[in-house]
Amino acid sequence: MSTKTYDSIVIGGGPGGYVAGIRLGQLKQKTLVIEKESLGGVCLNWGCIPSKALIAAANFVEKAQHGAGTMGITVSGVSVDPTKLQAWKNSIVKRLTGGVAQLLKANNAETLAGTARFVDAKTLEVTTANGVERVTATKGIIIATGSRPVEVPGFAYNGKTVISAKEGVSLDPLPKRLLIIGGGIIGMELGGVYSKLGVQVTIAEFMPRVLASMDEDLTKPVIKAMKAANVNFVTGAKATGYTTQPDGSLRVSLDVGGAVQTVDTDVVLVAVGMRPNSENLGLDKAGVTLDKRGHVVIGEKCETNVPGVYAIGDVAGGPYLAHKASKEGEIAAEVIAGHKSARDWRAIPAATFTHPEIASVGLFEDEARKKGLDITVGKFPFSASGRAMAVLETDGFVKVIAERTGKDKKDAKIIGVHIVGPEASDLISEAALAIEMDAYVEDMGLTIHPHPTLGEAMMEAAKAAIGEAVHIPNRV
């Protein structure tokens, strides 16, 4: 068997892998990207992008049905064609995945469709449609194999009535009833989508509350809005199994504090998290170390314990975020090419595309208090924002958390910003930059923000942290 040689090889073409491939190409490295399914990975094919397209459509339906009348606009005959909706969503996916292929080619990175396994730390065997090929890398191999949905005992996926998020973005026809097991980000996002599209949604969460990793004040506006959209929540609930009814529907059993409750549904969507794709790669042949959860252990340069073998994205540990994977892809590529680069960020922003949206960067308030930090907190509600009123999006707030570093009240460095409300996912980038730059609340407060915009809430919340907010009463 002949062996083809490259400077670098990337296993996986998701948002970490394809970015690494592009960056390696930019740095004049002869590069191969191996992908066993579709370029773009989970994010482009059935995660980030498809779900956000559906969320946008669902929000549009809700505005037409419930918001337009408030503005004096009469809308009638609103209906959803799930087949056309899926075709539109799929067209976006096709454009983006096709764009990834073109970008790799434009940067002289080769691609190979197949499944890779390590032979040793520098060599891979790739099973393709045409047989097995052997490839080797002289400078580095990057593991970017991502993650997959966790399966719950008693709820094996069948792709039709018991599904994961992969099938959850492709429901056509829409079921009448949908039970979602898991009230985390995926479950809450898709629950919001389908409730707005007319599906009767129930969300069962094992923890005492949904979105339990976030401060409770951030989640309250979301829960309130979803309950208003007739989403039913069952918390403290463990799904134990189901039976198939004569009509083909499912009767799901939930253990809620020792008492059994049943929920009748047409489809069960399991959304309890993701697990790393580190099996079946032959990592033992390369000598790569894994942690107890199956993540590849890496250092600040994304390198594993084996020189020349790197790992990025979900397979290398949380947070499971596409933009974190992309950043690590750039870092690993630059290190391989001989540049100085490292995982030296201060904080990684995250966004939850519920309605209203939630976005966070840095420490949560509860987290900061548990650490014993001397903090000041500023909040500005969107109900006081003229722009928010104009777009019928007044639920939520911006919260700025700052650590006091001196005697003057203005000596307070921003360590966390959390937003629940309109366009939170776009607004959070300013906060990420503030933390990265070691900004103080006065810096953000003194920065002139255009009026009337949602971004003014950032400025006002920063001012509120030091008692200088203009458009709300100060409590500091």
Q: The CATH number of the domain where 360 resides is what?
A: 3.30.390.30
Supply the pLDDT for residue 83.
98
233 within 8 A of 127, measured Cβ to Cβ = no
Q: Is residue 228 located within the same domain as residue 312?
A: no
Q: Is residue 96 located within the same domain as residue 222?
A: no
Residue 4's DSSP bridge partners are 135
Q: The CATH number of the domain where 143 resides is what?
A: 3.50.50.60
| DSSP code string of 405-469 | -SSSTT-EEEEEEEEEETTHHHHHHHHHHHHHTT-BHHHHHHS---SS-TTHHHHHHHHHTTT--
Phi and psi at residue 213, to the nearest 5°: -80, -10
Residue 142, token pair as written in the block: 């990057």
330 within 8 A of 19, measured Cβ to Cβ = yes
Q: Is residue 13 located within the same domain as residue 138?
A: yes
Beta carbons within 8 Å of 257's beta carbon, 6+ residues apart: 236
Q: Is residue 248 located within the same domain as residue 304?
A: no
**Residue 475 within any structural domain of the chain:** no
Rounded to an integer, what distance in angstroms lies between the CA atom of residue 237 and that of residue 448?
48
Sign of the torsion angle spanned by Cα atoms 416, 418, 423, 425: positive
Rounded to an integer, what distance in angstroms lies between the CA atom of residue 342 and that of residue 212?
31
Q: Is residue 332 located within the same domain as residue 357?
A: no
Instruction: Say which of 323, 418, 451, 471 is annotated catalytic.
Output: 451
| DSSP code string of 191-240 | HHHHHHTT-EEEEEESSSSTTTTS-HHHHHHHHHHHHHTT-EEEESEEEE
Q: Look up the domain containing 174 and give its range.
A: 162-272
DSSP summary character for residue 302: S
Whole-Å CA distances, 143 to 172, 416, 417: 35, 32, 32
415 within 8 A of 437, measured Cβ to Cβ = no
Q: Is residue 36 located within the same domain as residue 118?
A: yes
DSSP summary character for residue 252: E
Residue 147, token pair as written in the block: 């993650």
Q: How many domains does the chain have?
A: 3
Tell me the pTM. 0.95
**Residue 153 within any structural domain of the chain:** no
Q: Is residue 279 located within the same domain as residue 266?
A: no
**Residue 15 within any structural domain of the chain:** yes
Supply the pLDDT for residue 1.
66
**Residue 303 within any structural domain of the chain:** yes
Q: Is residue 233 located within the same domain as residue 331?
A: no
Supply the pLDDT for residue 44.
94
> Which residue, 246, 272, 298, sits at the end of a domain?
272
Specify the amino acid at residue 165.
Answer: A
143 within 8 A of 309, measured Cβ to Cβ = yes
Q: Is residue 87 located within the same domain as residue 167?
A: no
**Peptide bond preceding 319 in cis form (omega within 30 of 0):** yes
**Residue 472 within any structural domain of the chain:** no
Token pair 């949380």: residue: 318
**Residue 455 within any structural domain of the chain:** yes
Rounded to an integer, what distance in angstroms lies between the CA atom of residue 39 and that of residue 68?
39
**Residue 470 within any structural domain of the chain:** no
Specify the amino acid at residue 12.
Answer: G
Task: Establish whether 451 is a catalytic residue.
Answer: yes
Whole-Å CA distances, 334 to 287, 296, 329: 23, 19, 9
Rounded to an integer, what distance in angstroms lies between the CA atom of residue 315 and that of residue 226?
33
**Residue 188 within any structural domain of the chain:** yes
Q: Is residue 34 located within the same domain as residue 133?
A: yes
pLDDT tens for the chain, 476 residues long, are 679 999 999 999 999 999 999 999 999 999 999 999 999 999 999 999 999 999 999 999 999 998 888 999 999 889 999 999 999 999 999 999 999 999 999 999 999 999 999 999 999 999 999 999 999 999 999 999 999 999 999 999 999 999 999 999 999 999 999 999 999 999 999 999 999 999 999 999 999 999 999 999 999 999 999 999 999 999 999 999 999 999 999 999 999 999 999 999 999 999 999 999 999 999 999 999 999 999 999 999 999 999 999 999 999 999 999 999 999 999 999 999 999 999 999 999 999 999 999 999 999 999 999 999 999 999 999 999 999 999 999 999 999 999 999 988 889 999 999 999 999 999 999 999 999 999 999 999 999 999 999 999 999 999 999 999 999 999 86
Helix (H) or strand (E) holding 177: strand 177-181
Token pair 């922003």: residue: 349
> Which residue, 336, 366, 389, sits at the end of a domain?
336
271 within 8 A of 186, measured Cβ to Cβ = yes
Q: Is residue 266 located within the same domain as residue 281?
A: no
Q: Is residue 8 located within the same domain as residue 124?
A: yes
